Amino acid sequence: MAGLRVGVADLRRHPGQRQIIERDVELDGVEVSTAAVPSGSPGHLDVVLESLSDGVAVSGRLSVPWEGPCRRCLEQTSGVEVVELREVFSDSPVDDDLLSIDGDVIDLGPVVRDAAVLALPVAPLCGEDCLGPDPDHFPVGTGDGAERAVDPRWSALDELRFDPGVPDPLE
């Protein structure tokens, strides 16, 4: 990912010093099976870099635009997820939780991309009050949508999800 390599030489000369990175980031191609970042819609990165004695801490937020089919009505829906970023780039990473500093440069690209993938909803919902398939769009007896809408196994599942006593595993 271009433009997300950040020089930290100056920052590192002053432990405790902070540097704000705020910019749009290209997330084209980031997707999971249930949702994707719309082509041409940038995410927005807003993080603070902080110089540590043996590395650089990165913390802040990433906004990720997404689109995908609603899990109930199957209509295309979209939204923006915001995820927290918290990473440490270290001179000498001792475990997998730490990223390494490449010379005096840290590369936020992979961090941003991984976070964006995790931010995408695995069960998109067009609205909390979505009632499911619109009968006008899925008339009984035609197409996959209709079979799905009237399949008793699916209605049983819907009743389960709507029962306030049973937590929705997808929420």
Cα–Cα distance, 12 to 52 (Å, whole number): 8
Q: Stretches 6-14, 57-65, 73-81, 157-165: which one binds Zn ion (CB under 5 A)? A: 73-81
Contact status: 35 vs Zn ion (CB under 5 A): no
Q: What are phi and psi of 119, to 5 degrees?
A: -75, -25
Contact status: 72 vs Zn ion (CB under 5 A): yes
Cα–Cα distance, 126 to 149 (Å, whole number): 17
Shortest separation between residue 81's beta carbon and Zn ion, angstroms: 17
Q: Stretches 59-67, 80-88, 100-108, 120-128: which one binds Zn ion (CB under 5 A)? A: 120-128
Contact status: 115 vs Zn ion (CB under 5 A): no
Q: Determine whether 58 is exposed, middle or buried from the number of CB atoms within 10 Å of its CB (0-12, 13-18, 19+).
A: buried
Q: Stretches 57-65, 66-74, 87-95, 163-171: which one binds Zn ion (CB under 5 A)? A: 66-74
